[in-house]
Amino acid sequence: MKTTTVETLAWVLIYAGLLVASLGGFVQRQHDALGWGLVVGGGVAAAAGVALIVVRSRMQDPPR
């Protein structure tokens, strides 16, 4: 994978995961199980984004 692709995917996962997790917090008021599912799913996506940032930090930059 190219480094720019990893960077983009990492930030998309982080921001989308946090958005879904916060949406799950609001949904919990009406439907507890669905709300927790969204919170957990969003948290997993955000954690995957953080892991990709670690992966990107260890990747070699392509020569120019």
Q: What is the pLDDT of residues 13-62, one digit of tens each?
A: 999 999 999 999 999 999 999 999 999 999 999 999 999 999 999 998 87
44 contacts 59 by C-beta, under 8 angstroms: no
pLDDT at 48: 98
Rounded distance between C-alpha atoms, residue 38 and residue 34, angstroms = 6
Q: Which run of H or E residues covers position 60?
A: none
